[in-house]
Structure 1
Amino acid sequence: MYLDLLNKQEQEDFLELARYSMGLNGEHKAEEEAILTNYKYECQLVEYIAHRQEDIKKIILTLKGSTKKVKKIILVELFGILLADGEVCEEEAKFVDILAEGFRIKEYEVDRIQRWVEAMNDIVQEGYELISR
């Protein structure tokens, strides 16, 4: 939704974080893969293949230098993929905490972002239900 506001390097770094976060619960679910594909289209990086998974700490360190707006966009969009299955597991929550701490985003802001993404997902689902009846 907001990935077009990131520069190309930030978009690539985001796609690496997204791919990494997908595996934190032990599997890559179909819903997550579909969202990642949408993210690639949004970034106009359809052919991008995550190849820096072992460098995730370096990617986080690089993104620490981004603006607060970029960091919040990354969290919003990551919650989009983390909530694809309807919940954030313990490992995913730990990863968000690491990001938030590194990004210097307060816990209440992260909670607010998560609530907003959950509400947005509910609204989108309700829209599909409305048009399907």
Structure 2
Amino acid sequence: MFLKELNKKERIAFINLVHALSNVDEVFSSHEKELMDEYLEELSLDNESIEELTLESAAKELTDSSDRAKNIIYFELFGVALIDGEFDKKEIEFLNTLASKLNISLKKQQDFINYFKTVKEAYDGTFVNYESKLDELEKLARELI
């Protein structure tokens, strides 16, 4: 939703973080591969031209990034961790480490958790006016980041 706001250095760091998070459980599923391909396309990046970065070096690349860019990256990665419906202990550790490196406060992390809970509740329930509900969720996401 917000990834187009990132500059090229931030986009490359983000892709590396997605890859690292996807592999944290030592299994890179076909679904995760598809997600990586979608991100590469959305960010106008070519897999062959991306320098491979570790969690440490990717976080270091983001040191001078704005808080908004860091929040966008963390927000998207949080969604990646939830995409398979499970929240593995290693994924939690990864996200906690990254939050620390990016100086994302516990309050902001909790705000993101609450946002994704709201999204889940919205999709689990049935409602007539889904378009306005989606608009509300997008507005809430913009306010968080």
TM-score class, shorter-chain normalisation, is 0.7 to 0.9
Inter-partner Cα distance in structure 1 for 2:4 and 2:125: 26
Structure 1: give runs of 5+ residues left out of the alignment.
none
Q: Where does structure 2 lack aligned partners over 5 or more consecutive residues?
A: 131-145
> What is the number of equivalent residue pairs in this alignment?
126
Q: Which runs of 4+ in 1 moved over 4 A?
A: 121-127
**Structure 1 residue 120, shift from structure 2 partner:** 3.5
TM-score w.r.t. length of structure 1: 0.81
Could you say which residue in structure 1 is the equivalent of 2:140? none
Instruction: Identify which range, 16-25 or 80-89, moves more after superposition.
Output: 80-89
Q: 1:27 to 1:57 in 2, by over 3 A?
A: same
| Residues 64, 88 of structure 1: alpha-carbon distance in 2 compared, 3 angstrom cutoff | farther
Decide whether aligned partners of structure 1 residues 91 and 101 sit closer, same or farther in structure 2, where only a CA change above 3 A counts: same
Paired with 2:115 and 2:21, the residues of 1 have a C-alpha distance of 19
Percent sequence identity over aligned pairs: 24
Give the match for residue 9 of structure 2.
9
TM-score, with structure 2 as normaliser: 0.75
- CA RMSD, aligned part only? 2.4
Letter in 1 for 2:74: L
Question: For residues 106 and 62 of structure 1, do their structure 2 counterparts lie closer, same or farther at Cα, with a shift above 3 Å needed?
Answer: same
After superposition, the Cα gap between the structure-2 partners of 1:66 and 1:95, relative to the gap in structure 1 and judged at 3 Å, is: same
Compute the displacement of 1:87 (Å).
2.0
Per-residue CA distance 1:62-105 (angstroms, 9 max, x = gap): 21221110010001111221111112211111111111111111
* Aligned residues of 1:71 and 1:103 also touching (Cα < 8 A): yes
Query: What is the letter of the counterpart of residue 38 of structure 1?
Result: E
1:59 Cα deviation after fit: 1.5
Q: Deviations over 1:32-77 (max 9, x none)?
A: 22222221111011x3245524x33121112122111001000111
Q: Which has the larger radius of gyration?
A: 2
* Matches for 1:95-110 after TM superposition, within 5 Å: 95-110=94-109
Paired residue for 1:117? 116
